[in-house]
């Protein structure tokens, strides 16, 4: 099962365009904002981080 790809997602924030989105957990894929193209992404590391960000 080591050849099975991971479907894990990481939630990241782009402070340049104020967008939050998910990226696949792929170390070979560069972290680039899908909206504005910047490389300055900040990861939401906590398990509850995305829920806390999206809920009041």
Residue 38 phi/psi, 5° resolution? -75, 155
pLDDT in tens, the chain (56 residues): 455 555 677 888 899 998 888 888 777 777 888 889 988 888 877 645 455 556 55
For the whole model, what pTM was predicted?
A: 0.59
User: Phi, psi (5° rounding) for residue 26?
Assistant: -125, 110
Instruction: Quote the CA–CA distance of 11 and 43 in Å, as a whole number.
Output: 6
Cα–Cα dist 18/40, whole Å? 11
- Structural domain boundaries of the chain? 9-54
């Amino acid at each position: 099962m080591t050849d099975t790809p991971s479907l894990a997602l990481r939630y990241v924030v782009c402070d340049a365009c104020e967008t939050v989105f998910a990226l696949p957990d792929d170390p070979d894929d560069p972290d680039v904002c899908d909206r504005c193209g910047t490389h300055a992404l900040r990861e939401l590391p906590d398990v509850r981080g995305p829920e806390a960000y999206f809920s009041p």
